Structure 1
Amino acid sequence: MQPYVTLTIKNNVGFIEFFHPNKNAMPSEVLSQLEQTISDAGNNDGVRVIVLKSGGDRTFCAGASFNELIAIEDAETGKQFFSGFANLINAMRKCPKLIIGRVQGKTVGGGVGIAAATDYCLATKYASIRLSELSIGIGPFVIEPAVFRKIGKTAMTQMTIDAETFFTSEFARDKGLYADIFDTVEALDLAVKSLAEKLASYNPDALFEMKKVFWEGTEDWDDLLTERAEISGKLVLSEFTRKMLKRFR
């Protein structure tokens, strides 16, 4: 199957789905398409609430595309790649519509950042999370503000340092990343649909004003996340990281 990003509108809910055959990893093209689709949905009068989901039943998002990371040969290209995550998170932050995350399975690295950048996130009991960046010689610099904002410094530090451990969905719920978890994908989808349609029936002006309140204090993120992308873009060229990435070729 080929990578894709789609938008389907039903009952004033915009369902945005992304997919990549490599465990929903995020190459630049998918990141860019997802950013644009979220912006388009935010400007669509027929959409009052957005649901962000990924294709497949197992992995929500495997994070950055290792194939693309391996191919980076200079710091500017590295900055451009990691800016894809920065631009996506900022698009989610600035989107005038509430975004509900639907996390059906494991999520790693940048995928955790995407889940954290939603306004409200629901998941299955299989949706464990991992910040693996330090183990390959970089760090979760770009996504840190979004993840820290949701789970706090202590949990963020724990996950960053314990980079080879998957933390359970219960951990993610208890720390605030997930609002609730469900035993099956079917139960998750029912809850997401019910919540999204309920929100879509509310006053859109009130939803818009609450979205602004939710994201107060993040006005510097355009510059901050770009600076973080530059750090990651340099680190990915280090000898340590190059050796680690070759293991995944």
Structure 2
Amino acid sequence: MKKFVLLVFILTSFGFSQSQTQIDSLQQILKDWANLNRYKNENAKLVLTGSNKNRIVFMGNSITEEWKRFQPEFFSDNKYINRGISGQTTPQMLIRFRPDVIDLRPTAVVILAGINDIAENTGPSTVKMIAGNIISMAELAESNGIKVIISSILPASGFSWIPIHDPPPKILAINMIIKNYAEKNSMTYLDYYSSMVNDQEGLKKEYGLDEVHPNKKGYEIMSILVEKAITETLSLDHNKK
């Protein structure tokens, strides 16, 4: 989740010792702000296979991306598609939602997003803006016949890479908005938060690598919860409101 902040720091700290190749490389990264090229080749291969029965795409940030490292079998055995990118915020995910989700024609999408917006990775964001972007992804999915699982933001008491104070109120506010939206629109709301929060509204130590990211035990809890949500979602009548 630190990538964007670090990138800006590096760019603003360049001295004459930096080579033009390094500068060009970093400028190219900034040009592809949403990282559309990250999964471009993998997406093309999936589209060519034509087989998408019960395909589930996980859209998210580093919490989603790292999940595959801690539990590779969870994705390979279930043929789940991981489309997490470390450090990303909801506007970046919204830009890449079509190539990384819609074009893959999945049966359902699991959206887990918002914590990096609160950390201001790509600039200040309000609760309304963050929730609105998550809802926009859900609307795009539904309009393309994709069932939607909207995940709560995980608990976090702070960020190691930036001095943003007191994120819990924003997390709770966003979770309430997206939960109400999901229930009102017959979508699945996946509540990771309640199972992973401590008494200080942060991530339980036994479930976290740090204040934000789950460890293996944390992902094991998340796997159980998301499997239940997927089973319930696949059994729903998508056209029933």
What interval of TM-score do these two structures reach, taking the shorter chain for normalisation?
A: 0.3 to 0.5
Q: Higher relative CO (CA 8 A, sep ≥ 6), structure 1 or 2? A: 1
Task: Give the number of the structure whose residues are more often strand, by fraction.
Answer: 1
- TM-score, structure 1 length as denominator? 0.39
Give the TM-score taking structure 2 as reference length.
0.39
